[in-house]
Structure 1
Amino acid sequence: MATSRLEYVFPDGSFSVFDMDNGHQLVKSVALPQARGIRGVIAHAATHALYISYGGDGDGQHGAPTMLKYDLLTDTVVWTHAYPIGIDSISIGPDGSRLYLPTGELASGGTWYVINASSGDVVGRIDGPAGPHNTIVSLDGAHVYLGGRANNYLAVADTSTDQVFRRIGPLQSSVRPFTIDGGETVAYITITGLRGFQVGDIANGTVLRTVTFTGPNVSHTNGPSAPSHGISLSPDERELYVIDWPDYVHVFDVSGGPRQAPQQVADIALIPSMNHSESPCLYDCLADGWLQHSRDGRFVYVGDQGDVIDTATRQPVTNLSTLSNTRKMIEIDWNEGVPVFAANARASVGYVR
């Protein structure tokens, strides 16, 4: 049996699975009516586990902050666990034993819960930036990167101590979607209010440069507070895709590494525009967007708009209507009936080490 590369897409209350190698044909859809207000999705191949966080994001509204564990082999919910404060975009360590759960972008504090992945129980906490929102565990599992919606530093914690040991910044404004390279030398960070991104030196915590979009193909429509709410590093770390809401995705050559300025090399028009609201949707329904590379680098998925971009031609090969109504999606690959690869965060990171 050949490897199946599958894209899992999560609108509110369900998920749909698409076959990357068969024209993105729909494989199946699964109803999860309890999962309203989905904020985070990740999976772990060896334990064949899918985790979905949903409910309130720290302000006491939109339902109980909850996470569920789903068995990918049996297609059943293993457990459902409620949490205090809130939930947001999760990540998991490479051994599959620990999850890192931010308590929500609207939370007044800066707590990330450390979760036992088998039981869902809280086994620790990390005091990070205010407004806990986005999370990435490094490829080796030694570090976890913490993005707070209400703080202008990207924090890095040691997973052996659950202590923050470095902050990257100060950035121009608060941290929004970000990504890192596999060797943990550079962070590409979008921020509130900026069409573009900032480049951070992970080793010393400094901001190396600010990059904005140039040329005639630049969006000017006012919309979400983060007009570049989507950034994705190719697995080979040579290209960076960034959203310019609502009309474009810009491509940057970053093959020179952190010391060389990124070069804008392509502008990909989004047709239809991203300017709409998600449906179904419990809250935060404006289509902010998200970007995700496939693990082999062939495709980039445009959350909240639906395009699947061929990275060789930089043209869309299809548009998935399900993907146009969510910014939560991950890849899970299968071989001989079992998962063999799963994204450990919604963010697409580099894999060069």
Structure 2
Amino acid sequence: MVAARLTIDLNAIAANWQRLARLSRSETGATVKADGYGLGAAQVSRRLAQAGARKFFVALTEEGAAIRQALGNGPEIYVYSGHMAGDAQSIRNLGLIPLINSAEQLARHFESLPGHPFGIQLNTGMNRLGMEPREWAAVRDIALQAGPALIMSHLACADEPDHLMNTQQADTFRTMTEGCAVPRSLAATGGVLLGPAFHFDLTRPGVGLYGGAPFMDAYPVVELALPVIQTRDLEPGEPVGYNCTWVAGRPTRLATVAAGYADGILRSLSNNTTLWAGDTPCPVVGRVSMDLITVDVSALSDVPETLELLGAHQGVDELARDAGTIGYEILTGLGARYRRRYEGLRT
């Protein structure tokens, strides 16, 4: 088979959740939005539920459907985008809990789904989602009388432990929720690592579950092996790939592997990252194209059937550094063409 192989270690995801849960001075949920950060929401959420997670967070109502189908009734599924127009039937039928972001959403929810569970999201300074302090003050009494399941906000700079914004947001969150007898949540992965002052009643780690920074103690979750289609020998002066961005300066053995930017391997990695054959580094040379990457394998006496892009020598954050991005983008960009193999899959 030509398709590259993506191996996803569900036991590592579960172990990362358990580690973060031990660090949390509160209940611990799990963020499984964007198809479980690109790794398969159904498989990921089932394994996390087996590990003990009971509260799950997604970005969109549509994403909640996949989690509910995977988990059945029981676990709570929160929707960060709140109650959008046209979502009432799905929210009711799937038993989702929208995190209300505005007075407008609050009115929509009360009118279309009276008595249905909801949460509240507050803007404490990130200025992305959530009610403004004045808006919250205007509807607070009405909202609290209806018994929200959760009040939450989100940290903008949790991956920078010394950033002043962290303390400012935590203080604002405390002020906005003072006197509310409702469970509160502020911390995702970075917030868990900031310490108990940020944990409140519920943490909801995301990227750390999948082996990404800033959780440096995370177990690695993904391995990606790219099959070699062809090898050839180049003489000095011969170019490689589109626009001839790399030219052999010496006799070079070249391998062409089956993957490219259609598979989430970013074009910015052209001439700027490494594949591995065991412990031997093999640099990418030439442009990353849609379906193919060319690799200098001159250091190998024998070229294996596959070369490793993600694995023991290079994780998602190292690859992201080479690409000039973040591990989140690498994970969520992993393409649909990979042959996915799940380790630790339980029935």
The two structures have a TM-score, normalised by structure 2, of 0.27
Q: Which has a greater percent of strand?
A: 1
The two structures have a TM-score, normalised by structure 1, of 0.27
The structure whose Rg is larger is 2
Higher relative contact order (CA 8 A, sep 6+): 2
